[in-house]
């Protein structure tokens, strides 16, 4: 049974996987491999989603957590600002077309992101899950999902679904089925099909209502 928090854990996995690929491409590029610009340049959209996500957490999750576990979220807000500065460093290196600096910047960004997400998964969201009621968790995740501008939703789905495995995809879809009005879900269903191609068959096997 998918719980609201599973949607957040799935997005965290998409972040990890995307930045891992971007970082690997940046390293190969610094070593002289050509044709990797399109992969490295994904850092821009990656960061847009990361900022929507962090804003959503700060708006919807951290204040709720503050009520049940005071002072925990503060450290995670500091992490978010460090992620902002990791992006700025990468963006400046990219503008300067300095391949070594780009690779250093993606490595630093990835290192910090992975530690941050692992702490959130195993510490912050563990506390959230244990101390916040399920309806309140659902409400927070609902507010978070609205941090994504509606007109960018197709891009978000096309970015996220190829980056995650079947379990995360299944959880995301089950949660979307519950929280979205039917016509909106039908639209998203089409976007997911387009994003993952033949993998859709596995999701139909797992979710008979699709
Ligand atoms: Fe976060």
What is the overall mean pLDDT for the chain?
97
Nearest in space to 195 (alpha carbons), one of 168, 160, 145: 160
Nearest in space to 130 (alpha carbons), one of 80, 64, 82, 35: 64
What would the pLDDT profile of 51-77 be if each residue is shown by its tens digit?
A: 999 999 999 999 999 999 999 999 999
What would the pLDDT profile of 128-170 be if each residue is shown by its tens digit?
A: 999 999 999 999 999 999 999 999 999 999 999 999 999 999 9
> What are the structural domains, with CATH classification, of the chain?
4-148 (1.20.120.520), 149-210 (no CATH)
Q: Which two tokens stand for residue 64?
A: 């709720």
What would the pLDDT profile of 159-195 be if each residue is shown by its tens digit?
A: 999 999 999 999 999 999 988 899 999 999 999 999 9
Nearest in space to 174 (alpha carbons), one of 10, 53, 46, 56: 10
Whole-structure pTM value: 0.96
Summarize the confidence of residues 14-38 as an average pLDDT: 98
* Distance in Å, CA 158 to ligand 1 centroid: 21
HEC secondary structure over 111-149: HHHHHHHHHHHHHHHHHHHHHCCHHHHHHHHHHHHCCCC
Q: Look at residue 98 and tell me whether its pLDDT is greater than 90.
A: yes
Residues with CB under 5 A from ligand 1 (ion): 57
* Distance in Å, CA 24 to ligand 1 centroid: 23
* Distance in Å, CA 120 to ligand 1 centroid: 7
Residue 152 contacts residue 49 (beta carbons within 8 Å) = no
* Distance in Å, CA 10 to ligand 1 centroid: 13
- The pLDDT, as a whole number, for residue 1 is 79
* Distance in Å, CA 148 to ligand 1 centroid: 15
Nearest in space to 19 (alpha carbons), one of 3, 43, 35, 38: 43
- CA 108 to CA 89: how far, in whole Å? 10
* Distance in Å, CA 64 to ligand 1 centroid: 14
* Distance in Å, CA 127 to ligand 1 centroid: 14
- Could you list the beta-strand ranges (E) of the chain: none
């Amino acid at each position: 049974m998918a719980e609201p928090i599973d949607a957040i854990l799935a997005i965290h996995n998409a972040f990890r996987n995307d930045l891992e690929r971007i970082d690997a491409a940046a390293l190969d590029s610094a070593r002289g491999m050509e044709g990797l610009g399109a992969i490295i340049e994904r850092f821009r959209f990656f960061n847009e989603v990361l900022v929507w996500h962090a804003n959503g957490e700060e708006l919807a999750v951290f204040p709720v957590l503050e009520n049940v576990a005071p002072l925990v979220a503060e450290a995670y807000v500091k992490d978010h600002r460090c992620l902002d500065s990791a992006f700025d460093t990468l963006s400046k290196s990219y503008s300067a077309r300095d391949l070594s600096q780009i690779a250093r910047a993606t490595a630093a960004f990835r290192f910090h992101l992975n530690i941050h997400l692992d702490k959130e998964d195993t510490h912050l969201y563990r506390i959230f899950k244990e101390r916040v009621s399920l309806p309140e968790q659902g409400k927070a995740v609902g507010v978070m999902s609205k941090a994504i501008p509606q007109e960018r939703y197709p891009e978000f789905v096309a970015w996220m679904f190829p980056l995650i495995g079947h379990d995360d995809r299944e959880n995301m879809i089950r949660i979307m089925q519950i929280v979205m009005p039917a016509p909106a879900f039908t639209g998203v269903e089409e976007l997911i099909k387009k994003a993952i191609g033949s993998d859709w068959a596995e999701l139909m096997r797992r979710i008979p209502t699709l």
